[in-house]
Amino acid sequence: MKNYFSSNFKLGVLGGGQLGKMLLTETQKFDIYTCILDATYEAPCAQICNEFHLGDLMDFDTVYNFGKKVNLLTIEIEHVNIEALQKLEEEGLEIYPQPSVLKTIQHKGKQKDFFVKNNIPTSPHKRFTSLDQLKKETLAFPFVWKSAQFGYDGTGVKIVKNQNDLNSLTNTDCIVEDLIPFKNELAVIVARNKNGETKTYPVVEMEFHPEANQVEYVICPARISENVAQKARNIALKVANSFEHIGLLAVEMFQTKDDEIIVNEVAPRTHNSGHYSIEASYTSQFEQHLRSILNLPLGNTDSKVAGIMVNLVGEEGFSGNVVYQNIEEILKMDGVTPHIYGKKQTRPFRKMGHVTIVNNDLSEARKIAENVKNTIRVISK
């Protein structure tokens, strides 16, 4: 094994956002020297990593030159220059997840084709190179439209119900999927290292607001049967093994009305759906990502206690210097931990932090989570 701990080994990370910041907690714990590349000095990681490099993650030279300074490279965001990664890999740099995997996942069309080719259950889809091409096709409403690249947090995804919706879409490379009615939206995080060792985390469930159709709570464990949970974990594992993925892979899935599991999409990194693991799991997803990419033994993915995660997003109507109103009220509640990402400016719907609620009793945690959600407000002063 290489000596990563208090050594001259340098880990490079593309991206310095909140996922990078929570990874730094783990590199600090293990004293692994970490270099971050991000486009802004305002990035949450900028002041707390060993070395911060300023630059555009989509620029070939910037990514290539950064890669030459480190001993192993990983990502906290998948929108990076893959050509630079491929050249670095050819020149011998270890990069996890592998550039070839990132390339497939970066493009939702290629990602879907990969699922089909590897017999991974997913909703039927068609690929189009532009909206114009799509419009020539006769498609039955409703359907799901996804921009092939650069969508995040629900941007680049639309349910198209009629001709009007169709006309509002961006003219870009895209895919169209059947709209599958589902009971539950689930996710499973898989860790896989170079030795091929794998571990799956328990299934989490996204609970939606009954009217707004927005995820309100990420709940672990999902309130589903053991049978369905096992099926979901097996399918997630199959996805990771099919990619021969190294690192963390978050697999988003639907549980259909007849209890089938179909894969929606994957993210090749630590994921919002795994934030609960910091407080609830024996091994947090961030530590597990490190273990995976460094080919260390994987940690126990079981939970110590039930966990629920609530995102802290900027409230509508507020822009400017952020204030976390009533944060002291939620700190009074049992088992409540706010994570503040360090973005100084709030904007409507901007992800500013999250709150984890842990408890021995999931239904008690669920009550406290609702109380948290109704109490804290992300506003500006």
Of the candidates 91, 244, 328, 361, which one interacts with its own copies according to CB under 8 A? 328
- Tally Cβ neighbours within 10 Å of residue 22: 24
Q: Is 210 in the site for its own copies (CB under 8 A)?
A: no
- The CB-of-54 to its own copies minimum distance in angstroms stands at 17
Of the candidates 337, 371, 375, 380, which one interacts with its own copies according to CB under 8 A? 337
* Positive/negative CA dihedral, 242, 189, 25, 376: positive
* CB half-sphere exposure, 115, CA atoms < 13 A: 24
Of the candidates 115, 128, 143, 324, which one interacts with its own copies according to CB under 8 A? 324
- The CB-of-49 to its own copies minimum distance in angstroms stands at 8
Q: Is 48 in the site for its own copies (CB under 8 A)?
A: yes
Q: Which is nearer to its own copies, 4 or 143 (CB)?
A: 4
Q: Is 72 labeled as ligand-binding?
A: no
Q: Is 327 in the site for its own copies (CB under 8 A)?
A: yes
- SS3 state at 277: helix
* Residue 270 near residue 76, CB atoms below 8 Å: yes
Q: Which is nearer to its own copies, 156 or 247 (CB)?
A: 247
Residue 213's region, left for phi above 0, alpha for psi from -120 to 50, else beta, is left
Of the candidates 39, 131, 179, 340, which one interacts with its own copies according to CB under 8 A? 340
How many angstroms separate the Cα of 15 from the Cα of each of 18, 102, 115, 313?
A: 9, 14, 27, 20
* Residue 36 near residue 49, CB atoms below 8 Å: yes
Q: Is 195 in the site for its own copies (CB under 8 A)?
A: no
- SS3 state at 212: coil
- Tally Cβ neighbours within 10 Å of residue 323: 14
What is the spatial distance between Cα 287 and Cα 295, in angstroms, rounded to a whole number? 12
Q: Is 29 in the site for its own copies (CB under 8 A)?
A: yes
Q: Is 158 in the site for its own copies (CB under 8 A)?
A: no
Of the candidates 14, 231, 335, 350, which one interacts with its own copies according to CB under 8 A? 335
Q: Which residues pair with 260 in a beta bridge?
A: none
Amino acid code (one letter) for 369? A
What is the spatial distance between Cα 24 and Cα 333, in angstroms, rounded to a whole number? 27
Which residues, numbered 277-296, are part of the site for its own copies (CB under 8 A)? 282, 287, 291, 296
Q: Which is nearer to its own copies, 131 or 305 (CB)?
A: 305
Binding residues: 108, 146, 177-180, 185, 264-265
Contacting positions for its own copies (CB under 8 A): 1, 3, 5-6, 21, 24-25, 28-31, 44, 47-50, 282, 287, 291, 296-297, 299-300, 304-305, 322-324, 327-328, 331-332, 334-335, 337-344, 358, 381
Binding residues for ATP: 108, 146, 177-180, 185, 264-265
